[in-house]
Structure 1
């Protein structure tokens, strides 16, 4: 008999890819998602094999019904997207904090043995060590800046997972994904915004491409299929009450990312530096040696992943949703 897994936020970007992979791997899969920001069409190809609970992740009673019989709950539900951190911080915090509490308490009530919780690289903001190991101190630089609504909620989510889960779960694990990208990832992240602007520049015959900051800021971008494989490897081979950085350790500047996207789109971009929003991080790149020790490492190169992502957004460029949370 197939083991049951529940994915909260299964209509979200990473959640939907994870849901599809779990179905293909033979799990009995349930998804919890309010579909306020998620979209069930993301896992349409396996929808007949997924039990969908359209409820709020903050509703513990509803979660208990969804979690019954589950071997593991993989909690990915959150309000993501940098624009949302600045514009909807109260909602980001409410879903993040109350959702984490409801999830761990519902799992305890119905006897779920294993819990996997998604965190973020935003929990350590501007690290002193790059590439950054899991042992770095977590940091909230400025409680007045709404940007930290997300990172702050994830710091508390990690505390909730490990402390509430200490005596009630067989295995609790936290993963911190680093700049995940891929087709159908939404519209409020750097890759889709750059792609859409590059496509618009191509249409206009004008390569002017303003960016935030001077473009020397760095990130490491990891394709979504690699992230999903990392989550499953962590769950299968990782330890109890452990944190894992899942991402690429290839550090790329924002200027180079824009140039690579422009090359794939087929437009020569004139990258123009601009003001940077307060709270940005100059460098971000994970140390993934802990995941490598489990036998996992990224396999999809940045250009390959960007080509797949550009192709999707080129095809769906007129599908920008009315929902301002997307």
Structure 2
């Protein structure tokens, strides 16, 4: 067995893909996940090679036990999903803040030398520079808007990462994933929602496809396998007390995303603009110069990644979980 690594949130979308890759790379892998939002079936193919700690990431005592002997902890546990930011802000904040504190303190208590924490592009919201470098100021536009429960929790997570136990850790890194997508990513993100609606439109013979806003908002979508490779490249080649943007630097409008999904599904969608969500960001695209300097860049073409994702949701469209956090 290789060195021991612990992934919090290993039953989540990115976490499970990371877990599978780590097992294949020869790591001794442990997962911390209470499976409230995660699902162990996501890493079923390597489950026999993974030690699962079914505990809450806010439980420091449980984390200390799980972290014992680890070379590195990768902290990905969170309540993600844009819909959850609006409907479950208290839980989003509680897991985000108390989880980050518990992780860094448990890592110190268990003498873990390295810790990697997942942040988000939401920490800088509407940037003044696009593509956006890691040095952009972090921003909370409106504390009254529950949308920012997630971004706010991740701003504090970054502060916790770099200021708690900074004398203890050999390497502390933060990565900000940008619009990661792929098979089995949950049900409350734009890609699965668009895919399921396009499939329903095809079945109904009605191509009407309402969207929020006029579709001119842009994002940069990165396939999950590329993001996992980015995390591992960052850890291997990146520095201590550094932040890295991991994502694609190809900017795409939401309208174009819907059109691409429609083509892959096989339906010519009649995209109908609607009212924009309050607090949305007009443009988002990361500057990945810093990651490119470490030897990483995305490799999976957007349409190829979307085709793989559409195929999974077409096959699994009737197994949407009852869990309202998914």
Q: TM-score, normalised by structure 1?
A: 1.00
Alignment correspondent of 2:144: 144
Residue 3 of structure 1 and its aligned partner are, at CA, apart by: 0.1
Structure 1 runs of 4+ aligned residues shifted over 2 Å read none
Q: 1:166, CA displacement in angstroms? A: 1.6
Are residues 1:64 and 2:64 paired? yes
Query: Is this contact kept in 2: 1:121–1:178, CA < 8 A?
Result: yes
Distance 1:165 1:315 in 2: 46
CA distance in 2, matches of 1:48, 1:321: 24
Structure 1 residues 221-251: Cα deviation after superposition (integer angstroms, max 9, x where no partner): 0000000000000000000000000000000
Distance in 2, Cα, partners of 1:165 & 1:41 = 34
Tell me the CA shift for residue 45 of structure 1.
0.1
Q: How many residues align?
A: 326
Deviation readout 1:147-206 (Å, 9 max, x if unpaired): 000000000000000001421100000000000000000000000000000000000001
Unpaired runs of at least 5, structure 1: none
Partner of 1:102: 102
SS at structure 2 position matched to 1:173: strand
Give the distance between the partners of 1:207 and 1:287, measured in 2 at CA. 36
Which residue of structure 1 aligns with residue 200 of structure 2? 200
Distance 2:312 2:306 in 1: 10
User: Who is 1:265 aligned against?
Assistant: 265
Could you tell me how far 1:293 is from its partner in structure 2? 0.2
CA distance in 1, matches of 2:183, 2:289: 27
1:93 counterpart residue number:
93
Q: Could you tell me how far apart the structure 1 residues matched to 2:168 and 2:146 are?
A: 33
Q: Distance in 2 between matches of 1:156 and 1:105?
A: 15
Secondary structure of the structure 2 residue equivalent to 1:271? strand
The aligned residue for residue 232 of structure 1 is: 232
Q: Aligned to 1:115, what secondary structure does the other structure show? A: strand
Q: Distance in 1 between matches of 2:71 and 2:320?
A: 37
Map 1:1-326; keep pairs closer than 5 Å.
Answer: 1-326=1-326
Q: Distance in 1 between matches of 2:227 and 2:307?
A: 18
Work out whether residues 207 and 267 of structure 1, in 8 Å CA contact, stay in contact via their aligned partners in 2.
Answer: yes
Once residues 301 and 290 of structure 2 are traced to their aligned partners in structure 1, the CA distance between those partners, rounded to angstroms, is: 20
Cα deviation code 1:253-296 (max 9, x no counterpart): 00000000000000000000001111100000000000000000
Query: 1-side partners of 2:192 and 2:30: how far apart?
Result: 28
- Offset at residue 2 of structure 1 (A): 1.2
Deviation at 1:23, TM superposition (A): 0.2
Taking structure 2 as the reference length, what is the TM-score of the superposition? Answer: 1.00
Following the alignment from structure 1 to structure 2, what is the Cα–Cα distance between the partners of residues 308 and 14?
A: 16
Secondary structure at 1:74 match in 2: strand
Q: CA offsets per residue over residues 80-122 of structure 1, 9 Å max, x none?
A: 0000000000000000000000000000001000000000000
